[in-house]
Structure 1
């Protein structure tokens, strides 16, 4: 399915250049453009899109404030900031921006972002041999794609938690540890069972014992045997990427 996008940019030349690069290097459908933050916000209150290319310095509502409002949506579009200033990078990733593009635009850099967007939105191909020719038609499960919240338990309390708050998940035999920025939850289920509740475009099973939130990745550290350790924002634990999953990880992260 084609992803829908909008551009919020008050510089006509920058708007034109960004639109040209998106159309040249991707299948994204730019359904609307805005030169005013308030107009964009009104549009997003009634229309759903997958990606917002957002300049930080726009009239009425600046891009950062608009992004914080978008972050409260039940179904959040991915935000790609476009700006001439590096100063906002840390704040941008605090609200889980998908990426951050500096002006003047670099076509190759934008192409990399577009490739990553389309890779994350595409389902993994199923080998032909894995599906019997006479396999009956079944409805695809929708829980992972549509679920935005999960129940995390601590003692007798149940915390209804936005999946975007989850940093990583760790297996512990038949238990699963779920880590947010400030807390840890222990669930009485296998990691594979819990991962089924998470949106596949946002979470990656980097190792048989770990699953990470791709939006929380801060640093990718080369490790032995051409593998990686992944450092996430706000937490100290470094997550391994196993050799069996390295190819998929490189494709997702454009390495």
Structure 2
């Protein structure tokens, strides 16, 4: 996994480099105090992770993050900043993480472990790596009932528990097996094999009841025709 650091403060770059080099196998391909120079580098070199400060000259980090995200959705953006007020905007940008300075050793090491665990797609065959507290849990995709987007986070639900995934619902949907999982709504993905009951709802939509789940899952009006076709209704 290759990374770059973009931060106009030398001490901050040095501290982050120390933790990356000591506690992970992530390679640092470059460090930049100039956002413009960083963009020029990204035009030439493929990276997996960008560690990004927010308060910088010429281009602020949030604007830079949007530019990088538009270049490639595959690049994981980690904001490391002293400014907590941009957290919501960062998650709307689907940033991988948002860390406040000064950060603890535990916080940064946990981040690095998460990045390494999600190197690649995060899915190996029918296995999905997810987080539960401080541990990585390996889930069989067949045990997933549904996934949902909640306040900037993606939650994976089984009949027994729920887990946080460090990717957007759209990114997760691309990872899951086509045919088995379907995005019924902008905020929900369901395991088609877990559908137990389909109830007609208003505006010609449906509510779904899944095996082992009390919560009903909506099918949006925009997806109703495709859903009917998939279910042979």
Which residue of 12, 20, 23 corresponds with 1:22? 20
The answer to whether 1:70 aligns with 2:40 is no
Structure 1 gap ranges (5+): 127-143, 145-191, 193-199, 243-255
Query: Does the Cα contact within 8 Å between 2:2 and 2:48 map onto a contact in 1?
Result: yes
Question: Per-residue deviation at 1:60?
Answer: 1.6
Contact 1:7 1:52 in 2 (8 A): yes
The SS at the match of 2:108 is: helix
User: Take 2:140 and 2:12, find their aligned partners in 1: how far apart are those partners?
Assistant: 37
User: For 1:78 and 1:124, how far apart are their aligned partners in 2?
Assistant: 13
The residue aligned with 2:95 is: 97
Q: Structure 1 residue 73: deviation in Å?
A: 1.6
Map 1:71-150 to 2 at 5 A.
71-74=69-72, 76-121=74-119
Distance verdict in 2 for CA 1:212–1:30, change over 3 Å: farther
TM-score, structure 1 normalization = 0.53
Change (3 A) 1:46 1:230: closer
Please tell me whether the aligned partners of residues 52 and 78 of structure 1 are also in contact (alpha carbons under 8 angstroms).
yes
Match of 1:228 among 162, 165, 176: 162
2:197 maps to which residue?
none
Aligned residues: 166
CA contact (8 A) 1:6 1:33 kept: yes
- Give the equivalent residue in structure 1 for 2:153: 218
Q: Which residue of 1 aligns with 2:55?
A: 57
What corresponds to 1:7 in structure 2? 5
CA distance, structure 1, for counterparts of residue 94 and residue 65 of structure 2? 10
- Unaligned stretches of 5+ residues in structure 2: 131-138, 170-184, 195-233
TM-aligned CA deviation for residue 208 of structure 1 = 4.4
> Distance between the aligned counterparts of 1:93 and 1:50, measured in 2?
18
Distance (whole Å) between structure 2 residues aligned to residue 13 and residue 109 of structure 1: 18
Would the aligned equivalents of 1:8 and 1:34 in 2 still touch at CA under 8 Å?
yes
Per the normalisation by structure 2, the TM-score is: 0.58
Deviations 1:117-166 (CA, angstroms, capped at 9, x unpaired)? 1011168899xxxxxxxxxxxxxxxxx9xxxxxxxxxxxxxxxxxxxxxx
SS at match of 1:121: coil
RMSD, aligned CA: 4.1
Question: What is the CA-CA distance between 1:76 and the residue it aligns to?
Answer: 3.2
1:10-52 C-alpha deviation (Å, 9 max, x unpaired):
1111111011011111001101000111111111111111100
Using the alignment, how far apart are the partners of 2:83 and 2:111 within structure 1? 18
C-alpha separation in 1, matches of 2:62 and 2:2 = 21
After superposition, the C-alpha distances for 1:215-249 in whole angstroms (9 at most, x for unaligned) are x9616599985x22669789655979x9xxxxxxx
